[in-house]
């Protein structure tokens, strides 16, 4: 590991946003020599007062430390910041805590390897106020050696988990976990919109919602078992039943003048699997629809969802000739005075369907040899 006369254990932190500043504070608390840099000057004042060294340039920062931590806005900002100083990073350890996709992390891992830079990708499963507290958790993947050497340092921020040598692994877990978080908050906001439309406070709703959702997480292991075994014929809520339930929720939402968007998202997955002939099977089967890939993706169907469709109604251990759903999906009329903009036509969906497409681009990321291709035409 390159030393260049810099103090062992010294850290350069690039990016003093909401998260970066707290990461730097905890390092200072733990007695690490810290050099800080931020694109916009002035964000380091409190840190410098506490003993951090100010770097005027990225090069000055990276050459002042053996370990370089980036906590920037996105992958594009990491590249913009690091590419001009690639040669200066040689022989040092780069830990990127910026939220990026797995392929972006793999790209950075490959870029680092070409320059003799040890690389770890990190994912912060915490808010800034949690950093340093026991509930904060950070995931890392990439160089095992670098993880082992830095583990004590990482633990000043929170628990440190090593997810393996694949540079994209920490990011994959991060974003998979965040998918659940974002959709849960969206569901909560949707429920809150429904009850507040009737004069109930969101605070009152929050208590009830938290109780139900906490209890529901206890079902995850059973759902996981069904998914892992690929058998959706056991007991549980059928797709047909679920479609009716979702339809009722969506109509209730529209009656209250509230967009049923989050319900429509789930409903689209359920309907697709019913249309493929699995209406009597367990609603956990929406997993297969997700694995089948994105509409329009040339790789759609490579996942188990399509494999299950093409080989019959079941993937494992069930008769191939189960009855298929033929009845039209239950759809009720919307009440007058319902959600403005959502008109109902008999036989048609009573609310607009979502069409998902990315709205921002992180810029071109060269493909990483041996890594999965980006899905859904993303990046474009």
The C-alpha atoms of residue 81 and residue 374 are separated, in whole angstroms, by 24
Residues 6+ apart with CB under 8 A from 55: 12, 35, 36, 37, 61, 64
Q: Which of 312, 273, 267, 278 is nearest to 291 (CA)?
A: 273
Shortest Cβ 61–ligand NAP spacing (Å): 12
Q: Which of 348, 340, 144 is nearest to 254 (CA)?
A: 340
State whether residue 342 is helix, strand or coil.
coil
Shortest Cβ 13–ligand NAP spacing (Å): 10
The C-alpha atoms of residue 269 and residue 284 are separated, in whole angstroms, by 11
Shortest Cβ 234–ligand NAP spacing (Å): 37
Window contacting ligand NAP (CB under 6 A); options: 15-23, 47-55, 153-161, 368-376: 15-23
Interaction between residue 72 and ligand NAP (CB under 6 A): yes
The site map against ligand NAP for 18-37 (x = CB under 6 A) is xxx-----------------
Interaction between residue 190 and ligand NAP (CB under 6 A): no
Which string of b and e fits 219-234 if b means at least 16 CB within 10 Å?
Answer: eeeeeeebbeebbbbe
Window contacting ligand NAP (CB under 6 A); options: 75-83, 238-246, 252-260, 275-283: 75-83
The CB-nearest residue to ligand NAP is 17
Interaction between residue 15 and ligand NAP (CB under 6 A): yes
Give the position of tokens 């990016």: 15
The C-alpha atoms of residue 30 and residue 101 are separated, in whole angstroms, by 30
Q: Report the site for ligand NAP in 83-142 (rule: CB under 6 A).
A: 98-99, 124, 127-128
Shortest Cβ 18–ligand NAP spacing (Å): 4
DSSP state of 318: S
Shortest Cβ 164–ligand NAP spacing (Å): 20
**What is the total count of residues that contact ligand NAP (CB under 6 A)?**
21
Window contacting ligand NAP (CB under 6 A); options: 28-36, 49-57, 65-73, 212-220: 65-73
Interaction between residue 17 and ligand NAP (CB under 6 A): yes
Interaction between residue 38 and ligand NAP (CB under 6 A): yes
Window contacting ligand NAP (CB under 6 A); options: 71-79, 262-270, 280-288, 349-357: 71-79
Through-space distance between the first and last CA atoms of the chain, rounded to whole angstroms:
38
DSSP E strands, the chain:
11-14, 34-37, 53-54, 67-70, 93-96, 118-125, 137-142, 159-162
Q: Which of 54, 26, 5 is nearest to 153 (CA)?
A: 26
Interaction between residue 378 and ligand NAP (CB under 6 A): no
Interaction between residue 362 and ligand NAP (CB under 6 A): no
Shortest Cβ 138–ligand NAP spacing (Å): 9
Q: Are strands 118-125 and 137-142 parallel, antiparallel or unpaired?
A: antiparallel
Interaction between residue 159 and ligand NAP (CB under 6 A): no
Residues near ligand NAP, by CB under 6 A? 15-20, 38-40, 43, 71-73, 77, 80-81, 98-99, 124, 127-128
């Amino acid at each position: 590991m390159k030393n260049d006369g810099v103090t062992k254990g010294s850290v350069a932190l690039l990016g003093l946003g909401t998260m970066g500043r707290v990461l730097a504070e905890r390092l200072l608390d733990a007695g690490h020599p810290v050099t800080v840099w931020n694109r916009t000057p002035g964000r380091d004042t409190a840190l410098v007062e506490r003993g951090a060294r100010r770097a005027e340039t990225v090069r000055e920062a990276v050459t002042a430390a053996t370990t370089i931590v980036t906590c920037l806005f996105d992958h594009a900002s990491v590249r913009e910041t690091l590419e001009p100083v690639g040669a200066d990073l040689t022989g040092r350890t780069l830990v990127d805590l910026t939220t990026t996709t797995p392929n972006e992390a793999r790209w950075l891992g490959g870029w680092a390897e070409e320059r003799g830079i040890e690389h770890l990708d990190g994912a912060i499963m915490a808010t800034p106020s949690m950093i340093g507290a026991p509930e904060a958790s950070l995931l890392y993947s990439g160089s095992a050696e670098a993880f082992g050497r830095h583990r004590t340092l990482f633990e000043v921020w929170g628990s440190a988990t090593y997810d393996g040598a694949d540079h994209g692994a920490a990011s994959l877990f991060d974003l998979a976990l965040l998918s659940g978080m974002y959709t849960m908050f969206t569901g909560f906001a949707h429920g809150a919109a429904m009850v507040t439309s009737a004069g109930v406070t969101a605070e009152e709703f929050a208590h009830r919602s938290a109780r139900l959702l906490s209890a529901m997480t206890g079902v995850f292991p059973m759902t996981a078992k069904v998914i892992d075994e690929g058998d959706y014929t056991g007991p549980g809520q059928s797709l047909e039943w679920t479609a009716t339930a979702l339809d009722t929720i969506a109509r209730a939402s529209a009656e209250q003048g509230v967009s049923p968007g989050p319900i429509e998202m789930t409903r689209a997955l359920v309907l697709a699997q019913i249309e493929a002939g699995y209406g009597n099977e367990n609603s956990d089967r929406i997993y297969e629809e997700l694995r089948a890939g994105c509409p329009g993706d040339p790789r759609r169907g490579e996942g188990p969802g399509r494999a299950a469709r093409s080989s019959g109604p079941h993937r494992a251990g069930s008769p191939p000739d189960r009855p298929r759903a033929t009845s039209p999906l239950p759809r009720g009329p919307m009440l007058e005075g319902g959600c403005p903009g959502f008109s109902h036509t008999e036989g048609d969906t009573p609310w607009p369907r979502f069409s998902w497409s990315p709205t921002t681009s992180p810029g071109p990321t060269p493909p990483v040899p041996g890594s999965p291709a980006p899905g859904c035409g993303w990046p474009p």
